[in-house]
Amino acid sequence: MAYRAGRHFLQIPGPTNVPDRILRAMDMPTIDHRGPKFQEMAKRVLSGLRTIFRTEQPVIIFPASGTGAWEAALVNTLSPGDLVLMYETGHFATLWRRLAERLGLRTEFIAGDWRTGADAAAIAERLKSDAGHEIKAVCVVHNETSTGCVTDVAAVRRAIDEASHPALLMADTISSLASIDYRHDEWGVDVTVAGSQKGLMLPPGLSFNAVSPKALDAAKSARLTKSYWAWEEMLAPNRNGFFPYTPATNLLYGLAESIDMLNAEGLNNVFARHSRHGEATRRAVRAWGLEILCRKESDYSGSLTAVLMPDGQSADAFRKVVLGSFDMSLGSGLGKLADKVFRIGHLGDFNDLSLAGTLAGVEMGLHRAGVLHKAGGVQAAMEYLANEAGSAEGREAAE
Amino acid sequence: MAYRAGRHFLQIPGPTNVPDRILRAMDMPTIDHRGPKFQEMAKRVLSGLRTIFRTEQPVIIFPASGTGAWEAALVNTLSPGDLVLMYETGHFATLWRRLAERLGLRTEFIAGDWRTGADAAAIAERLKSDAGHEIKAVCVVHNETSTGCVTDVAAVRRAIDEASHPALLMADTISSLASIDYRHDEWGVDVTVAGSQKGLMLPPGLSFNAVSPKALDAAKSARLTKSYWAWEEMLAPNRNGFFPYTPATNLLYGLAESIDMLNAEGLNNVFARHSRHGEATRRAVRAWGLEILCRKESDYSGSLTAVLMPDGQSADAFRKVVLGSFDMSLGSGLGKLADKVFRIGHLGDFNDLSLAGTLAGVEMGLHRAGVLHKAGGVQAAMEYLANEAGSAEGREAAE
Amino acid sequence: MAYRAGRHFLQIPGPTNVPDRILRAMDMPTIDHRGPKFQEMAKRVLSGLRTIFRTEQPVIIFPASGTGAWEAALVNTLSPGDLVLMYETGHFATLWRRLAERLGLRTEFIAGDWRTGADAAAIAERLKSDAGHEIKAVCVVHNETSTGCVTDVAAVRRAIDEASHPALLMADTISSLASIDYRHDEWGVDVTVAGSQKGLMLPPGLSFNAVSPKALDAAKSARLTKSYWAWEEMLAPNRNGFFPYTPATNLLYGLAESIDMLNAEGLNNVFARHSRHGEATRRAVRAWGLEILCRKESDYSGSLTAVLMPDGQSADAFRKVVLGSFDMSLGSGLGKLADKVFRIGHLGDFNDLSLAGTLAGVEMGLHRAGVLHKAGGVQAAMEYLANEAGSAEGREAAE
Amino acid sequence: MAYRAGRHFLQIPGPTNVPDRILRAMDMPTIDHRGPKFQEMAKRVLSGLRTIFRTEQPVIIFPASGTGAWEAALVNTLSPGDLVLMYETGHFATLWRRLAERLGLRTEFIAGDWRTGADAAAIAERLKSDAGHEIKAVCVVHNETSTGCVTDVAAVRRAIDEASHPALLMADTISSLASIDYRHDEWGVDVTVAGSQKGLMLPPGLSFNAVSPKALDAAKSARLTKSYWAWEEMLAPNRNGFFPYTPATNLLYGLAESIDMLNAEGLNNVFARHSRHGEATRRAVRAWGLEILCRKESDYSGSLTAVLMPDGQSADAFRKVVLGSFDMSLGSGLGKLADKVFRIGHLGDFNDLSLAGTLAGVEMGLHRAGVLHKAGGVQAAMEYLANEAGSAEGREAAE
């Protein structure tokens, strides 16, 4: 390929731009995963992770992609033929459902139009009708990466409670953890699924299950087969800083650094930063005269913004122009949204000027690709950013 | 912990010392795993891997530890209740068996004393008695990492053929691939299991299944549940340089570099180097008056040497002295060998002087720990190394 | 300091953003600077450097900042009391003059207003009046980093030739080499001075003298004292790939990578890219209603743009706001321009979206700092960039 | 060149093996050398350096090799024609003298046979005879890198004091700083010369002058020309964390890390470690039946050991065999010792097992090269190392 000067803009909604500190932390000799130095590091990571998931419970780390953590959540808690209630928020909810079925679970899918988060009221209603408690788990995607719509997980919890239903609550936070406010304990989630390559700012290769006591209890009688994903094998050695099989040591180095960085910034500042960039991005989209895929303001995502192409125009052709002309990767439309939307990732290690560059790449790309739009999106975003101080600035001014 | 000057000696039999070139290759920005640059890199890796496994068949890459690849080998090819013939070469053979049983397979274990590789004749005998072909797979560990004994996989192939038995042949090469001569195609192996963190000189986090047409055929009717590990999901996108879920991009960067380095050295030179270091190590062990765990010369390993402690002495206490005094990690005894042996890893990115330093650490550690032994092990190794030119030297002299 | 998410924008006119490839190339073990591997690398670097300076003559590398290369140019060619003709293009021309005087040279400074490059006609005139050839050297700054004004070095050469004057021609290309078209041989420059930390995209720590046969001849009789800077000590060992004293090995690794990258992009493409970014920047400045320091279109710089603040407003206060609010470093006004201008560096490893982010930081900073200006600078730059394809794109389209 | 597996052994007496922590610290984006982050880092470095030189006085940092710091020491304190008393300890003392003469100084060289440090009594005698105080400076090399002989700098100080002579005392600690006990203030040194690439464990590219008030006073009237090396230009901005010209930012990152590492180990532990490795090396040399170049026990060096080849055998041929067969670089004989000695560097980031590997490389190399010697050198070193606990171990046991 032709040589490209300057830094590539990786603005897919994950993997995200890995900060130098994390890449450098991983760029160190692998150590003995059964020795005292590893033990010390692993204890620090396992304990630090809890601050990110906002839990006092164990967080289990798999050397695997996020897809593995989806599987782990199900095989540890359920038995063949169990019924799982899922919500069709978009492509990833659909994939999770497909995975559940491959594992021998029965699924029920509350239909959605891929333009909102999950509707807690619909979930409540369905649960209330399940007098026999056939439904064993409710699975929602916190931030649907294919649409940029957020589900109110606390409301889902309340829905389950209102129905006095014993189902487990599982939430996929793959593209929301460490980007959008999330509280495993406070919201009563039983299994939280997450991955390394989004808000945690790491390369892909680690995924997570945060588990509640109720989930651990369910694990005792769950009969789906499992070995690699078995929580019970993990929990005992983890208490001591060890793992039942070889862990992905160098990714753990990066994770230790990530946790330090997120806590240095402060999780609430991290959320505010993402939220601010989401708002700036949406202002740009509106200025261009394009339509934001997410239909509900309450469901807007701080991690990514999916944008509908004008009728009859190819999102993929547009993305190709942006990549070729401006060396920026944007997210494609997935599943039934293929070629109809493009997605702007604004999550991870990111700041105002990189966002401005990103939006400039979109605006110039629209022009280059001949997509009908109005100029002024970057301008609109800048007006917002220039007037609304970010959290880091506030703190600096105060110091 | 106290500050330690100089470089730690990581002489466990894996993870091995990761070369700077590989660490640096991984220390690069993560890219879009759905874009053309990734595609180009992945195609190069998927094709290059075949040269390392010596196969024309696909090699599947999982973002997972080696344990995952064990699981993948079984769930893709077998059905609940299938009988698998395994051979008790040591701790890892035992773990693989345990894993098979967790997955709902039946296993039969040919007993071994953990001091040799698998006996092909015993396998042949058992297969011949299986007139009904109840056995669906034969699983052996090529280089048993817990003992340093190598199994003659080609002989196992011949045993199966002699018995005209249709069972699949699966081989674990986790600690032999790219260290000890191995030929997936020529030896007729159906599934080869491997990992990144040994001969491939990468950090842990990737594992592999090389698969034969027969294995792919078996996969069509195999009924164990699978999703993350499903070959069929991998093969189609792989053909195009893509993956069905987010791959461990940065580890793949390292893998590309590893393949280049191994081919630059030449696989046969790699094997000769390991073999030479194994011989030097065994000469040291004998000079110390200690016993090599592996009882058969033909089964000696080029990757590691397990050494029996004199009666009544703790291998773990000795290893702790070596770590504390000389900043070297040695492998512990595993399973029933716990505290009875220590293991010297001499695989991966390694050379004569690092081996001399390693053996010096063992010899000085034996002295410090008060283990009965004779001096002169390093001297014996040096005499061998000084007189037997390594392969790199030969080539250099020839150039 | 407060934690800042995302990547810092280093938009001073050097040091520039060092590409990952170069940082990683330098992040390798130091080797024996008297051994064959070093020799091979050094020969490659010494030969590759000539392609960058566009010369067939030797390029001497000092482990030193650019200031050292200024000194080297003078002490190798001149004798105490020699008269040097310099041109007051700005702060760096002034510093170079001061350095010459410290070394015991006499200097004559053609006055300038710091808003243009050197006037070749004025130089010609002065040389013509120097019938006795008292002037031994003419020194000009190719791209005056303090002002963003370029001197036409070829015209200075013609001026010297027209006057049939034997003076040496020395050019400082510290902020132009590998950014703005420069031709050591074709333009008849006797000593070219350069540094590592601008267009070469390296950290600071190396500097250069490209020398003509005439300069080497002058060196034979030059009587200024010198040791570290002595060319004669360098040239003989350099021929063989060695250095008279310990070279900055790891910076040389980076330089090897830099030369490869520049040649992969193609020097003419590099120049076109910088020129395009200069034009986009100036369009932004004009849209803001601010004044470009450089008064002559012909002298505009592709490396940086210096911008005059509106009367009565502090450039430094503005730069502080930009740093605090948007994590971007801009160049300060130097010497008599202190606090009156800010400088936008757009050189080195840089692309359209980073430029858009940079200009967004300036525009939002002007707003935040309450500097009188019009919005629309980024918009103006984007219009230009969107309509004018960059050189990399052209090539890609053609492939 | 042929591919070499494993890590190269860089056992020249500098540049030394750069620790990963330092390489990684340097592998970070260059920052604005006029901004607050740089200022903070530079202040930390400038202050931390004093702990390494054991001084309360300023330490000046040059972006230059050690040779530059030699020049800086002289040009800042002396005037043309001044007489300098130097001591012929070896090749580097000879080069320093040559440099002094190039600068227009007169030198007087107390002859030595290159097998001891400087004789303080001879210096005292010469100074006593200099009733007119014509001698302006006494220059000694603390650890002569070409011979491995240490000069007792405190004794030289006493010699000057006994003679009541006003001469400045200058000491070259290029290969001793942070390896061999050195005390700028306590020993009354006026200018200490040092470099980055030895005990400081950095790549080459930085050098240092630690200066006494008396040296600063001398600088006021010194008339040698200087610009790049001028202390006065450095001291004022340094006080504030800045530099008069672009500093070698990324090497400073490494220096900050180096200071932290040395202080974490504890300077006295660092010295004890080097001393222990020197003793182990000498025991090996004696066991081989070879002769240590340094004739006086009191002058033995902890940084390196120079070894005389048996009569009629080429040290360079031997070193070539070691490099070709065992991938280890040893130091060559310099000046009149060319081809007669080889030098083993045992300084910097180094530990017992790396020393054992190093000595094994020498012993096997002697065998391969057909050099007459006895086996058993490594064995002798190991006996010493195994019985004498290193300082890190002592501390660990105590913790």
Encode pLDDT of B174-226 as tens digits. 999 999 999 999 999 999 999 999 999 999 999 999 999 999 999 999 999 99
What are the chain A neighbours of D36 within 8 Å (beta carbons)? none
The pLDDT confidence band at residue C3, using thresholds 50, 70 and 90, is confident
For A102-150, the pLDDT digits (tens) are: 999 999 999 999 999 999 999 999 999 999 999 999 999 999 999 999 9
Distance from CA of B223 to the nearest CA of D (A): 44
Residue A389 is predicted with a pLDDT of 82
Residue A11 is predicted with a pLDDT of 98
Q: Are strands D149-150 and D168-172 parallel, antiparallel or unpaired?
A: unpaired
Mean of per-residue pLDDT scores for chain A: 97
pLDDT beyond 50 at C200: yes
Question: A367 to chain C: nearest residue by CA?
Answer: C386
pLDDT beyond 90 at D44: yes
Residue B209 · residue B191 · CB < 8 Å = yes
Question: How many interchain CB pairs under 8 A, C with D?
Answer: 180
Residue C398 is predicted with a pLDDT of 46
Residue D307 CB-half CA count within 13 A: 34
The pLDDT confidence band at residue B30, using thresholds 50, 70 and 90, is very high
What are the chain C neighbours of B28 within 8 Å (beta carbons)? 20, 24
pLDDT beyond 60 at B229: yes
What are the chain C neighbours of A385 within 8 Å (beta carbons)? 364
For A241-277, the pLDDT digits (tens) are: 999 999 999 999 999 999 999 999 999 999 999 999 9
The pLDDT confidence band at residue B376, using thresholds 50, 70 and 90, is very high
Residue A364 · residue A339 · CB < 8 Å = no
Which chains have 3+ CB pairs within 8 A of A?
A: B, C, D
Residue D198 · residue D177 · CB < 8 Å = yes
Mean pLDDT within B369-378: 97
Measured between CB atoms, which of D35, D36, D99 is closest to C227?
A: D99
Residue C67 · residue C208 · CB < 8 Å = no
Which chains have 3+ CB pairs within 8 A of B?
A: A, C, D
Going by C-alpha positions, the residue among A11, A68, A261 that lies closest to residue B29 is A11
Residue D98, both tokens = 């040559």
Mean pLDDT within C73-81: 98
Residue B2 is predicted with a pLDDT of 75
Calculated CA dihedral for residues A250, A256, A261, A263, nearest 10 degrees: 160
Distance from CA of B116 to the nearest CA of A (A): 24
Mean pLDDT within B304-322: 97
Residue A116, both tokens = 């909102």
For D216-257, the pLDDT digits (tens) are: 999 999 999 999 999 999 999 999 999 999 999 999 999 999
Distance of alpha carbon C329 from alpha carbon C14, whole angstroms? 11
Q: Do C382 and A376 touch (CB under 8 A)?
A: no
- Angle at CA B250, nearest 5°, toward B246 and B255? 105
- Angle at CA C274, nearest 5°, toward C272 and C278? 115
For B87-113, the pLDDT digits (tens) are: 999 999 999 999 999 999 999 999 999
Calculated CA dihedral for residues C31, C37, C38, C42, nearest 10 degrees: -150
Question: Roughly how many angstroms between the first and final C-alpha of chain C, as a whole number?
Answer: 48
For C349-392, the pLDDT digits (tens) are: 999 999 999 999 999 999 999 999 999 999 999 999 999 888 66
Mean of per-residue pLDDT scores for chain B: 97
The pLDDT confidence band at residue B395, using thresholds 50, 70 and 90, is low
- Measured CA distances, C103 to A129, B208, C78, C170, C210 (Å): 93, 67, 10, 16, 21
The pLDDT confidence band at residue A399, using thresholds 50, 70 and 90, is very low
Residue A398 is predicted with a pLDDT of 45
pTM for this structure? 0.97
Measured between CB atoms, which of A24, A28, A29 is closest to D28?
A: A24
- Burial status of residue C1 (CB atoms within 10 A of its CB: 0-12, 13-18, 19 or more): exposed
Measured between CB atoms, which of D103, D227, D251 is closest to C103?
A: D227
Distance of alpha carbon C135 from alpha carbon C235, whole angstroms? 27
Q: Do C37 and D203 touch (CB under 8 A)?
A: no
CB count, 10 Å around CB of C326? Answer: 28
Measured between CB atoms, which of B20, B28, B29 is closest to C28?
A: B20
Measured between CB atoms, which of A325, A328, A396 is closest to C2?
A: A396
Question: D24 to chain A: nearest residue by CA?
Answer: A24
Residue C399 is predicted with a pLDDT of 45
Question: How many interchain CB pairs under 8 A, A with D?
Answer: 10
Residue A357 · residue C353 · CB < 8 Å = yes
Mean pLDDT within D109-119: 98
The pLDDT confidence band at residue A390, using thresholds 50, 70 and 90, is confident
Per DSSP, the residues of A91-110 read: HHHHHHHHHHHHTT-EEEEE
pLDDT beyond 90 at A2: no
Q: Do D392 and B367 touch (CB under 8 A)?
A: no
- Measured CA distances, B322 to B332, B366, D349, D360 (Å): 12, 8, 19, 19
pLDDT beyond 60 at B397: no
Residue D393 is predicted with a pLDDT of 66
Question: D29 to chain A: nearest residue by CA?
Answer: A20
Residue D325 · residue D2 · CB < 8 Å = no
- Of all residues in chain D, the percent with pLDDT exceeding 90 is 96
Measured between CB atoms, which of A351, A361, A375 is closest to C5?
A: A351
Question: How many interchain CB pairs under 8 A, B with C?
Answer: 10
Distance from CA of C297 to the nearest CA of D (A): 29
The number of residues making up chain A comes to 399
pLDDT beyond 50 at D78: yes
Distance from CA of A73 to the nearest CA of B (A): 13
The number of residues making up chain D comes to 399
Residue B46, both tokens = 């998927």
Residue A16 · residue A197 · CB < 8 Å = yes
- Of all residues in chain D, the percent with pLDDT exceeding 70 is 97
Question: D25 to chain C: nearest residue by CA?
Answer: C27
Question: B25 to chain C: nearest residue by CA?
Answer: C24
Measured between CB atoms, which of C32, C67, C203 is closest to D329?
A: C32
Task: Print the SS3 string covering chain D.
Answer: CCCCCCCCEEECCCCCCCCHHHHHHHCCCCCCCCCHHHHHHHHHHHHHHHHHHCCCCCEEEEECCHHHHHHHHHHCCCCCCCEEEEECCCHHHHHHHHHHHHCCCEEEEECCCCCCCCCHHHHHHHHHCCCCCCEEEEEEECEECCCCEECCHHHHHHHHHHCCCCCEEEEECCCCCCCCCCCCCCCCCCEEEEECCCCCCCCCCEEEEEECHHHHHHHHHCCCCCCCCCHHHHHHHHHCCCCCCCCCHHHHHHHHHHHHHHHHHCHHHHHHHHHHHHHHHHHHHHHHCCEECCCCHHHECCCEEEEECCCCCCHHHHHHHHHHHHCEEEEECCHHHCCCEEEEECCCCCCHHHHHHHHHHHHHHHHHCCCCCCCCHHHHHHHHHHHCCCHHHHHHHHC
Compute chain B's Rg from CA coordinates: 21
Mean of per-residue pLDDT scores for chain D: 97
The pLDDT confidence band at residue D12, using thresholds 50, 70 and 90, is very high
Going by C-alpha positions, the residue among B299, B296, B302 that lies closest to residue B391 is B302
Question: C254 to chain D: nearest residue by CA?
Answer: D27
Residue D59 · residue D49 · CB < 8 Å = yes
What are the chain B neighbours of C29 within 8 Å (beta carbons)? 20
Question: A24 to chain D: nearest residue by CA?
Answer: D24
Q: Do D67 and C26 touch (CB under 8 A)?
A: no
CB count, 10 Å around CB of A11? Answer: 30
Distance of alpha carbon B359 from alpha carbon B364, whole angstroms? 8
Q: Do A326 and C352 touch (CB under 8 A)?
A: yes
Helix (H) or strand (E) holding A127: helix A120-128
Residue C294 · residue C148 · CB < 8 Å = yes
For A291-334, the pLDDT digits (tens) are: 999 999 999 999 999 999 999 999 999 999 999 999 999 999 99
The phi and psi torsions of D23 (rounded to 5 degrees) equal -60, -40
Residue C351 is predicted with a pLDDT of 98
Q: Do C378 and A379 touch (CB under 8 A)?
A: yes
Dihedral sign, CA of C22, C25, C29, C32? negative
Q: Do B8 and A31 touch (CB under 8 A)?
A: yes
Residue D250 is predicted with a pLDDT of 98
Q: Do B2 and D353 touch (CB under 8 A)?
A: no
pLDDT beyond 70 at D316: yes
Mean pLDDT within B386-396: 73
Q: Do A376 and C379 touch (CB under 8 A)?
A: yes
What are the chain C neighbours of B27 within 8 Å (beta carbons)? 24, 27
Measured between CB atoms, which of D27, D357, D396 is closest to B353?
A: D357
Mean pLDDT within A334-354: 98
**Which site among A31, A250, A251 would you substitute to test the B interface, given the most B Cβ atoms closer than 10 Å to its Cβ?**
A250
pLDDT beyond 90 at D284: yes
